[in-house]
Every structure is written in C-alpha cells, then in structure tokens.
Amino acid sequence: MSRHRYVATLATLLAVVAVGMGIAPIDRATWLMENALALLLVVVLAASYRHLPLSRISYTLIFLFLCLHTLGAHYTYSLVPYDEWWRALTGRSLNATLGFERNHFDRLVHLAYGLLLAYPIREVFLRVASTRGFWGYFLPLDLTLSTSALYELIEWGAAVTVGGAQGAAFLGTQGDPWDAHQDMAFASLGALIAMSATAAINARLQRDFAREWIDSLRVKDPLPLGEDEIARLRASGGNARRA
C-alpha cells in the first residue's frame, strides 16, 4: 500500500472514530474543549503533509494516540468506564485488582502521549533540525515534558476561566492535589520508554551509532557567546555568529 493510501485510510478511520465519539458525549462543552488541541494537531499534520510527510510508523502512532484521546473526550477522562468493561469481560474489577482508588484512564493517555508521540517528534527533529546522536533522543523527551507541562497550564487556565462543574470536569483532578505532576511524570516515562527502545534498535542496526552519539556531545565551537558574541557582532558589522 502506498504512503498516500495508508495515510488516507488512517484519516478515514480517525474520522469515523471521531464522529462516533462525537455522538451524545457525556458533556458537550467539555468534549469541545478536550478536542480543540487535537483538532489543531490534525490541521497541522494535514497542512504539512505535502512538504513534510512522516513515516507510516509516525502516522500510526499519532492515529493510536488520537483514538485514545477521542475516547477520553467522549466520556470525559475521569468517567471512562474501563473498569465496567473489564468487569464485563473477566467478571472482576480491574481497579480493585490493582488497588486503584480513582479512574486512571487519564494516566494511561498521558503515558501514551509520551510513548506514542515521542517518535514522531524525533522524526521531525531529525529531518528539520538535523539533530543527531544524543540530541536526537533527548530533545523529543524534553519537548514531550515541556508540552505536557504547557498542556497542564492550559488545562488549569481553561478550568479557572470556565469555572464550576464544567471546569472541574475538564481539569479532571478527581481530588488529587498531585494530578498535574503525575500526568507530566507519566508522559515523560512514556517518552523515555519510546526513546530507549528507539536507541536500542538503532544501536543494533546502525554501524556508526556510538561514533554519532560521541560526536553529538563534542564542542563544535570553542568561542563563548553572550557578551563576547555581541562584541564580535559590533566589531564585524553584524557578520559574526548569533548572540
């Protein structure tokens, strides 16, 4: 199957899932708020497809994450009935078995955020910024953590602005004062697992893996920047490096 047809198939499946999950959500206003950033991601992917088509692996990982997110948005994350589904399949409570005292679907999706999106982020870094070696693994992990923190700030700001039960439903802390911290930790853990697995595969298949890693950590320019670079810029009429 060609890349174009594969991506079109994923897009069609995602549209079907989104439409299905958009029918009678638990809270329509919360559903709209939850899907705003997901829609923005889809728009960015569509707009960049011609000039920056990603690998099938990356599109598949993004598709899986968006499916999980769409499910969470339909029920609101804190009300996804995964325990009821598990009980129907096994006759036992998953929460009771694992000792959960809250709905942990949001933890799963935050873990999936790092686990499923770190690789597509890495692909963009490698192809656009030409990152190599250590930085090709660290920067996706770093961006995953920073965007996870940014989302928590957006979530907090939106919840404060909306207020009331709707704001609380969007925030989804379920009374846990460390909810945001743990969400970021799970996203970072997912990204760490993804980048560790990617590094292990590359270490096995890439001949110059160790040399590339070492070269990426070497100092490329011995001259300091800051005030020294500003002085060089002034002396050279703006033809030196950036400050």
Task: Give pLDDT tens digits for 42-72.
Answer: 999 999 999 999 999 999 999 999 999 999 9
Contact 172, 78 (CB under 8 A): yes
Sketch the domain layout of the chain as residue ranges: 3-206
Global pTM reads 0.88
What local confidence, expressed as pLDDT, does residue 164 receive? Answer: 59
What local confidence, expressed as pLDDT, does residue 33 receive? Answer: 85
What local confidence, expressed as pLDDT, does residue 236 receive? Answer: 83
Cβ partners under 8 Å of residue 164, min gap 6:
none
Contact 167, 159 (CB under 8 A): yes
What local confidence, expressed as pLDDT, does residue 241 receive? Answer: 60
What local confidence, expressed as pLDDT, does residue 170 receive? Answer: 55
Task: Give pLDDT tens digits for 210-220.
Answer: 999 999 999 98
* Residue 18 Rama label (left phi>0; alpha psi -120 to 50; beta): alpha
What local confidence, expressed as pLDDT, does residue 156 receive? Answer: 77
Give the mean pLDDT per block of 10 residues along the chain (243 residues): 92 96 90 90 95 96 97 90 93 90 89 97 96 96 93 78 60 64 92 97 95 94 87 78 58
What local confidence, expressed as pLDDT, does residue 139 receive? Answer: 97
The CA distances from residue 151 to 27, 61, 181, 198, in Å, are: 20, 20, 12, 25
- Tokens 């704001």, located at residue: 167
Other C-beta atoms lying within 10 Å of the C-beta of residue 135: 17
The CA distances from residue 54 to 45, 92, 138, in Å, are: 9, 41, 20
DSSP string, 101-163: SS--HHHHHHHHHHHHHHHHHHHHIIIII---TTHHHHHHHHHHHHHHHHHHHHHHHHHHHH-
